[in-house]
Every structure is written in structure tokens, then in C-alpha cells.
Amino acid sequence: MFRFVMCVLCATAFAMPAAAQSAKPSAKETPDKLSGGPRPQISARVPPTISFRSKYAPGTILIDTKRRRLLYVRSRSRAYLYPITVGRLGFQWTGTKRISAKRNWPDWRPPAKMRERKPNLPKLMTGGLYNPLGAKALYLGSSLYRIHGTNNAKSIGQAASSGCFRMHNTHVAHLAKIAKVGTKVVVMNALPSRLARSFAKQPDQQITSTQRRRSEPRRRAAPRKRSLAWRRAILGLN
């Protein structure tokens, strides 16, 4: 069984949206197990394609930490460009990994050391709209890090995690479709200026309310066994 791991601060900055129309009855909740909520269908959203002439092989993922961008190399001259969240100061890293697994609506299991610091955290939070890992996760080797979605669109473009890379749910759905297990992921402080010329001066691409309405499933309020206030309290977010 694949061993789930969690980057430490990925849980501290996520939104808790209302249940979706496709909500299913959740499993019984306990202090040790928390439901992640509904798992609606997330449609993939294609990011912009930019000019990118490099020697990187097609199919390579590049992460520019300084500019908070993820690139998927399509060819020797083109690449997809995604805005992302990177590690906060002191939690950034560089190196080369490979995608070891992909998961839809991944569960979250906070490490024991994290639960020692925050006793209110559950041992397990099932995947869903309340889960900080979002709709999909791409695991990076055997490390603690992953590329994953987020239910808090406002965090995109910031240095806020402890080493993981967050994407809009619609974007991570797209990346997961084209990036296979074994895909090479190169994390660097910054791409050379000549390679980043086509996007270096662009502002962070925050998703707008209109884009969110078009790309995310419609949601309506539904009866919940536990209130959102309770969820925030149990996670220590109040």
C-alpha cells in the first residue's frame, strides 16, 4: 500500500467550500477521522502555452521557485505555464525528482510530529472539498513533497507551503492528465532569464471570480453532520 505523507503547513491555508451537488453520505466522523466532504467532478482547464526554446526534453516538468511558476515542456519551443504556490522561506528546496504516483482526491494523514504540536488534528482526513490536498496529488519520489491541488485559490502565487507545490484544482487536473508516472520534475531557484523571458514580467495569475464560476462545479448548501465552525475548531484554525 502506498504510504501517504503530508507537507507540514499545507493544511494551514485552505478554504472550506459548501457541499457540492454530487455530495455522497460521508463516513462516520470521529476525533481521529474527519470527512473531507464531497468529491465532485473537476474539469481540467488548459493553461496558457508560451514560447520556450530549451534543451529540456518534452514531457519534463520545471518549477521556477522565484517566479512561482510550473512549466510542462511540450516541445523544444513550447511549454504550458501554470501559476503555483511554493514553499515559504526556510522550506524551499531544489533538486530533481520523478512522479512516483498520482491520486484523485487524496486522503490526508498528518505526521505524528505535527499532531504532537497540534493535538486537535485528526489522524486521517478523507479526500474531498474540505481536504487541503485538493482534487489530485502527484507524489514526488519517496519525499515528503508533492504537486497537488488546493481548495484555496487565493493562496496561488504565494510562498506559503512547507515544500509542496499547490495548483488550482482545474490546473492540477490538466497536469495529471498529461504527466505520467516517471515524469521528471526539476525544481530550481529560478530559470535562467533567457528562458523565462516570455513570462518573467507577468503578474501572478490569480484566478478571478468569473473564472472560478466557469471552472469549478456549481455548489449548493446541503445538510451537514458537522458545522464548518466545528471543522475549523477541530483543525485548530480558529
Domain of residue 53, CATH code: 2.40.440.10
The confidence score (pLDDT) of residue 225 equals: 52
Whether residue 80 is contained in a domain is answered as yes
Helix/strand/coil percent split, the chain, to 5: 15, 25, 60
Helix H or strand E encompassing 19: none
According to DSSP, residue 155 is labeled: G
Whether residue 83 is contained in a domain is answered as yes
Whether residue 126 is contained in a domain is answered as yes
Whether residue 18 is contained in a domain is answered as no
The confidence score (pLDDT) of residue 92 equals: 94
Q: Residue 50 corresponds to which cell in the numbers above?
A: 508560451
The confidence score (pLDDT) of residue 20 equals: 39
| Tally of CA atoms within 13 A in the half-sphere of 140 that contains its CB | 23
Q: Contact at 8 Å (CB) between 62 and 191?
A: yes
Q: Look up 174 and say whether it is catalytic.
A: no
Task: Give the C-alpha separation, 189 to 220, whole Å.
Answer: 41
How many domains does the chain contain in total? 1
The confidence score (pLDDT) of residue 19 equals: 37
Domain that holds residue 47: 33-234
User: Within 30-126, where are the H helices?
Assistant: 112-117
Q: Contact at 8 Å (CB) between 25 and 54?
A: no
Q: Which of 7, 10, 164, 168 is catalytic?
A: 164
The confidence score (pLDDT) of residue 110 equals: 77
Q: Which of 7, 10, 148, 168 is catalytic?
A: 148
The confidence score (pLDDT) of residue 29 equals: 61
Whether residue 220 is contained in a domain is answered as yes
Whether residue 186 is contained in a domain is answered as yes
Task: Give the C-alpha separation, 67 to 175, whole Å.
Answer: 19
The confidence score (pLDDT) of residue 236 equals: 53
pLDDT per residue of the chain (238 residues) written in tens, 0 to 9 = 434 344 444 544 443 443 333 444 344 566 789 999 999 999 999 999 999 999 999 999 999 999 999 999 999 999 999 999 999 898 899 999 999 999 999 998 877 766 887 788 888 999 999 998 999 999 999 988 999 999 888 999 999 987 899 999 999 999 999 999 999 999 999 999 999 988 876 554 444 444 444 444 444 444 455 555 555 555 555 4
Whether residue 10 is contained in a domain is answered as no
User: Within the chain, where are the H helices?
Assistant: 112-117, 169-178, 193-196, 209-215, 228-234
The confidence score (pLDDT) of residue 16 equals: 41
Whether residue 45 is contained in a domain is answered as yes
Q: Look up 10 and say whether it is catalytic.
A: no
